[in-house]
Structure formats: structure tokens, C-alpha cells
């Protein structure tokens, strides 16, 4: 259906009579008298039509529509190839190959193997949650390498599911399409209505952090190498060793055991914690909806009615789909089935969060890692962005791509707030809160391994930008990735968070194409906003800062320019030095505004 839907959208954006009416409203003197949100709507709709081919005529118009249809087909093919490799490559282990793996992971792997027709064995599936845990804990170095190679080679194995030719065609078609509109490259076209506005500003931000993050990688690798040698290991740190030895260094330096932390991270309790934050900061109440009374697409999906905590007014429904299953794409994401609007009768929100956790044994709680708990809160930030919407016009919900990760990244900060720790991070067996000394270790280690996490993300963002500013004619994606990372000085001990053949953010659609930098851009805002809460009397539950946050940065969606909205919240632009402090890179970059 993707090509058919793309053709349908092209008929709308290329409808000359419709665009003439949009232009008439846009150019009318009386438009200046409309409310501010209506003026922004008129401007954005006009730009969107122009950006998507409404000004083209004749053969250019026909070619543009044909490119759109073909790209839609390629995006679907890209996604299907990735999914095929995620489901087609499973490593089955026997009892003697489980060294170092936590008991709950082993149990989950056993259930996975049984469901795949291999009872008595253990399945390491080709998903991030399974790969990450295995690489962190397995003492079998050869198996770690096998799992690492399988995961990071998804859709890049030279077989029927290889995406390199698909990517090459996508890049050529994107470039041809924007050339029809008079743009030098796809990045310039894509960024014209983002906060960054132009590729040079994106590159400046990413490279200002790159030097500090890769320098930290060098330090992290040296620490790991020293520890490995002290244990008598005869090896050089490779990418499949990074998580394993980072965990050992973490334990040695901070006496922090990820397995111990996990005992306090029950999925059900974390869900309750999110709802508590939503009540205290955003004024919402979440009430379970009786199973079967609302249609869902799978029995795992939980539904909650969201109401205003004070007035009891209905806000919307929230769908939570937490567990992995066959046919479900990997990762975590948020979406809406219906967005808020009140310009022609009020419609309430249908919001959803989706994850891929491995369910606990029957009757046992599902325990997740600290990273997974952070991701759970992250996606809930998107959900709260949907639910707080006060937008009159449905197309103004959300926001520009390099701003909409701000709300989700900021919500991660509440996971480590005192109230959440005391009330919800309790041991799954004893019910006792996480001990103060363990909390102190987590906070002390908060900047640990930031070289790895920052560099793998920056590498993906820099590659995204490079692909969309290069001449795509004759470009070999595999060779281009290798050459560009070498030019950047990519440390050999790790890889991009999303390697090119499975970089779905960028090549399974256009939402994040030349937009993956948005996570880093938004994190500058996040770090700066977090300091606003830290400076307030009530900390992360300070009522005044929370009110300003919801009023200025959540509820308006895209009805206000995000740069103006942030100034209204903070009284100034965000400063990059907050990000550098947050990641433990203080003093590594200037404190410019953002």
C-alpha cells in the first residue's frame, strides 16, 4: 500500500487549485490579524506544500510524484529486510555456553528457545535488548563476537535482505527530488524548517562534542585494557568486549553491579512510577480500563484512561505494549492513533508506548536493566507530550524534528529523582527501597561510559549528515561509511549505534533523515532545562518550574516556534555547556547558546 498512499499524498500536494487557495490565504493582508497559532498554521501549511512539490509544473511535477511512489516502496523494502534479519538470525546455546549470564536472562532465553521449537536450549535473539545483555555479561568471548557480528551486520550480509543497493537508490532519488525544487542537497531541503535550519549548524554542534567524546573513549578503553591485563587476559579490546569490560570497570570503580540494580527495576513498578510523575508534574490520573472493553491488537496491550487529576475531565487513552513477540519490530517507540484538536469540536488523545522487553516467568515480575528503564521513561515523555496538547489544530501537534526528542529525554531525569526511588524502586523479593548507598553509586557513575554512548550516537548522526550532503551518483554506501568514519577518526573499539544497512531512522522513512542529530540537539535543551529544575526549591517536583514546562514546552506542540517557546520557559536560549557538564565533558567546549 505504501506506493499507493504516496501517490495519493502527491495528488493532494500537487493539486494546483488547492495550492492556489492556500497561497491566497497565506498572502492575504487579513492573515496578519489571525491569532498567532492560526498564523503559524498558515505559514507551515504553505511551506509544507511548497516543500513537497506544489510549485512544480509539467514533467518536473510528474517526475516528483513518481519519485515519491518509488521511495515509499523502497522504505518498505528496507524495513522488511531489517525485520527479516532480526527474525532470521537466532543463536541457540546449550547449558555449557551460559557462563556469566544472569539467571533471569537465562530463563528468558530458555522460554524464547522453546517458543522457537528448541526446548532445552537457549535462544539469543537478534534484538538490541537480547544482544546488549549478552555482550555485557557473557564470559564466552567467541560467542560475544558472534552475537555482535550478527546484530551489527543486519541487512548487510550480501544476500537477498542486503540493504546497500536500496540505500544507494534512496539517496539518488532524494537528491534528484530536491534538485527539482532548487536545493543543492537533501540536507539543505530537510533542515529549512528545523531549529538547526542549515547543515553547517548541525555539523558545528556534533563536531563540538565529538572531540571530547572520542577522547573519553580513549580513556575508557585504557581502563578496560588495564583491567583485562590484570586478570591475565591476552587480548586487545574489540567492539564485542566493550560492554563486558565496561561492566567490570564499573564494578571495580563504583562497586556498581548492573545485576544488583536490576533487582529493583520491576516493570510494573516503573509503570506506576511514570504515572506518579504524570500526576505530580502534569496533573494527570491513569486508571486501568477493564480488559476487553477497549479494542486492542494484542492481548499484551494494557489500556488506561487518562483524566485531569483535579477536574476529572477525560483527556484520552494510553496504550502500553511492553513485550517482544514475533512480527513486532524491535526497539521502543511512541505513537498516536488520534491527536488532540478542538478547532472543530474537541477530540481527545489516543496515545501509545511500545517496547520489546522479555517477559518474566509466569507469576514472576519482569525485571529490566537501568538502560531499559531509562528508555521506558523516555518514550513516556513522548506520550505526555501527546496528552498535554492544547493545540486547536491537529497538524500543530508534535513539533519540529530536532525539538520533539526534548520532552522524552527530559522525562528520563525523573527516574533518578528521590521520590521515584523511595516509592517505586523496591526490591522484587523484599519490597525494600533501593539502599541509599546503591543510589549514591548510580548517581556517582552517571557519567560513566559516556564516551561510548555519546560517540556511538554522534557517529550515526554524522554519517546521516554526510550521506545527505554528498553527491550520491555512484556512491557505494558500504565504502562511503568506512571512508567517512576513518576521516572522522572513529575509535576502532566501537561502531555506530545504527550502522547504515539497518539505520531505520534514516532509511525506513524520512522523519529522521538528516535528523538523527536531533537527539543531541534536544539533549542540549534537556541538560539546560534539567538545571532549571535542579536550581529550583522543589527540585524535579517544583510546581512553578513544572507549570512553566507544561505551559511553554509541552502543551503548545508546534503552535509556537520552539526557539521562542524555550526562551519563554528558561528566560534565555539553552547553553551547550550544560550538556558538557551533564556528560562529564565540562571544559571541553565553549558555552555557546543553542
Q: How far is Cα 555 from Cα 528, in angstroms, rounded to an integer?
A: 19
Residue with cell 501537534: 397
Q: How many CB atoms lie within 10 A of CB 434?
A: 19
Strand (E) or helix (H) holding 306: strand 302-308
What pLDDT was estimated at residue 591? Answer: 44
Q: What ranges make up the beta strands (E) of 491-544?
A: none
What pLDDT was estimated at residue 265? Answer: 97
What pLDDT was estimated at residue 304? Answer: 98
Q: How far is Cα 275 from Cα 281, in angstroms, rounded to an integer?
A: 10
User: Where do the domains of the chain lie?
Assistant: 2-81+160-191, 89-152
Q: How far is Cα 464 from Cα 468, in angstroms, rounded to an integer?
A: 7
Strand (E) or helix (H) holding 443: helix 436-444
What pLDDT was estimated at residue 586? Answer: 63
What pLDDT was estimated at residue 594? Answer: 54
User: Alpha helices, DSSP H only, in 116-198?
Assistant: 128-137, 141-152, 164-180, 186-191
Contact 493, 459 (CB under 8 A): no
Cα distance from N-terminal residue to C-terminal residue, the chain: 41
What pLDDT was estimated at residue 587? Answer: 53
- DSSP conformational letter for 92: E
Order the strands of the 333-338 sheet from edge to edge.
284-288, 302-308, 314-323, 349-357, 333-338
What pLDDT was estimated at residue 589? Answer: 45
| Closest to 155 (Cα-Cα) out of 144, 167, 145 | 167
Q: How many CB atoms lie within 10 A of CB 88?
A: 12
Residue ranges, the chain, pLDDT below 70: 586-594
What pLDDT was estimated at residue 590? Answer: 44
DSSP per residue over 219-266, as a string? HHHHHHHHHHHHTT------HHHHHHHHHHHHHHHH---HHHHHTT-B
* pTM for this entry: 0.85
Known active-site residue 347:
no
**Per-state percent for the chain, helix, strand, coil, to nearest 5:** 60, 10, 35
Q: How far is Cα 71 from Cα 394, in angstroms, rounded to an integer?
A: 26
What pLDDT was estimated at residue 400? Answer: 85
SS3 529: helix
Contact 578, 528 (CB under 8 A): yes
Q: How far is Cα 192 from Cα 414, in angstroms, rounded to an integer?
A: 33
| Closest to 280 (Cα-Cα) out of 534, 539, 523 | 539
Q: Which three cell numbers stand for residue 235?
A: 587480548
What pLDDT was estimated at residue 193? Answer: 86
Q: How many CB atoms lie within 10 A of CB 535?
A: 10
Q: Which of 86, 220, 280, 379 is catalytic?
A: 379
What pLDDT was estimated at residue 358? Answer: 86
Which residue pairs, CB below 8 angstroms and at least 24 apart, start in 104-113? Answer: 104/262, 104/360, 104/367, 105/133, 105/134, 105/137, 105/358, 107/360, 107/361, 108/358, 108/359, 108/360, 111/359, 111/361, 112/358
Amino acid at each position: 500500500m505504501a506506493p499507493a498512499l504516496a501517490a495519493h499524498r502527491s495528488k493532494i500536494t500537487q493539486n494546483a487549485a488547492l495550492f492556489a487557495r492556500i497561497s491566497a490565504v497565506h498572502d492575504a493582508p487579513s492573515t496578519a490579524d489571525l491569532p498567532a497559532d492560526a498564523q503559524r498554521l498558515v505559514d507551515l501549511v504553505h511551506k509544507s506544500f511548497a516543500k513537497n512539490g506544489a510549485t512544480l509544473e509539467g514533467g518536473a511535477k510528474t517526475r516528483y510524484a513518481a519519485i515519491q511512489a518509488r521511495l515509499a516502496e523502497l522504505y518498505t523494502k528496507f524495513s522488511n529486510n531489517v525485520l527479516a534479519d532480526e527474525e532470521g538470525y537466532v543463536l541457540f546455546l546449550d547449558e555449557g555456553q551460559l557462563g556469566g549470564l544472569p539467571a533471569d536472562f537465562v530463563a528468558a532465553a530458555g522460554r524464547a528457545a522453546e517458543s522457537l521449537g528448541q526446548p532445552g536450549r537457549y535462544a539469543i535473539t537478534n534484538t538490541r535488548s537480547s544482544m546488549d545483555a549478552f555482550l555485557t555479561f557473557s564470559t564466552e568471548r567467541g560467542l560475544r563476537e558472534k552475537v555482535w557480528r550478527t546484530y551489527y551486520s543486519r541487512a548487510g550480509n550480501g544476500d537477498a535482505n542486503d540493504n546497500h543497493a536500496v540505500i544507494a537508490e534512496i539517496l539518488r532519488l532524494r537528491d534528484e527530488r530536491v534538485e527539482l525544487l532548487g536545493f543543492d542537497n537533501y540536507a539543505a531541503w530537510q533542515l529549512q524548517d528545523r531549529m538547526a535550519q542549515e547543515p553547517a549548524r548541525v555539523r558545528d554542534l556534533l563536531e563540538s562534542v565529538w572531540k571530547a567524546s572520542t577522547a573519553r573513549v580513549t580513556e575508557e578503553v585504557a581502563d578496560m585494557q588495564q583491567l583485562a591485563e590484570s586478570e591475565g587476559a591476552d587480548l586487545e579490546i574489540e567492539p564485542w568486549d566493550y560492554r563486558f569490560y565496561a561492566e567490570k570497570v564499573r564494578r571495580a570503580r563504583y562497586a556498581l553491579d548492573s545485576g544488583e540494580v536490576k533487582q529493583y527495576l520491576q516493570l510494573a513498578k516503573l509503570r506506576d512510577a511514570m504515572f506518579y510523575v504524570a500526576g505530580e508534574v502534569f496533573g494527570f490520573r491513569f486508571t486501568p480500563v477493564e480488559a476487553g472493553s477497549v479494542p486492542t491488537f494484542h492481548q499484551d496491550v494494557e489500556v488506561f484512561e487518562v483524566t485531569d487529576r483535579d477536574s476529572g475531565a477525560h483527556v484520552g487513552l494510553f496504550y502500553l505494549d511492553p513485550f517482544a513477540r514475533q512480527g513486532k519490530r524491535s526497539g521502543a517507540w511512541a505513537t498516536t492513533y488520534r491527536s488532540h484538536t478542538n478547532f472543530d469540536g474537541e477530540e481527545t488523545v489516543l496515545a501509545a508506548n511500545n517496547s520489546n522487553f522479555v517477559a518474566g516467568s509466569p507469576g514472576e515480575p519482569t525485571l529490566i536493566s537501568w538502560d531499559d528503564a531509562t528508555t521506558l521513561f523516555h518514550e513516556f515523555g513522548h506520550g505526555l507530550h501527546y496528552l498535554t496538547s492544547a493545540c486547536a489544530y491537529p497538524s500543530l501537534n508534535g513539533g519540529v524534528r530536532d525539538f520533539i526528542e526534548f520532552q522524552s529525554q527530559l522525562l528520563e531525569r525523573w527516574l533518578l529523582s528521590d521520590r521515584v526511588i523511595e516509592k517505586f524502586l523496591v526490591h522484587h523479593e523484599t519490597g525494600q527501597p533501593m539502599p541509599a548507598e546503591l543510589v549514591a553509586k548510580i548517581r556517582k557513575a552517571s557519567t560513566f561510559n559516556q564516551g561510548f554512548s555519546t560517540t556511538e550516537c554522534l557517529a550515526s548522526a554524522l554519517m546521516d549528515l554526510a550521506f545527505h550532503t554528498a553527491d550520491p551518483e555512484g556512491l557505494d554506501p558500504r565504502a562511503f561509511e568506512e571512508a567517512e568514519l576513518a576521516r572522522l577518526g572513529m575509535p576502532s573499539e566501537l561502531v555506530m549505534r545504527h550502522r547504515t544497512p539497518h539505520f531505520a531512522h534514516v532509511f525506513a522513512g524520512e522523519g529522521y533523515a538528516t535528523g538523527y542529530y536531533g537527539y543531541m540537539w534536544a539533549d542540549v535543551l534537556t541538560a539546560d532545562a534539567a538545571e532549571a529544575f535542579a536550581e529550583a526549591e522543589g527540585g524535579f517536583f517544583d510546581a512553578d518550574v513544572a507549570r512553566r514546562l507544561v505551559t511553554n514546552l509541552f502543551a503548545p506542540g508546534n503552535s509556537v516556534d520552539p526557539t521562542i517557546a524555550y526562551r519563554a520557559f528558561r528566560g534565555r536560549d539553552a547553553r551547550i555547556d550544560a550538556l558538557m557538564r551533564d556528560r562529564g565533558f565540562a571544559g571541553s567546549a565553549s558555552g555557546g547558546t543553542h
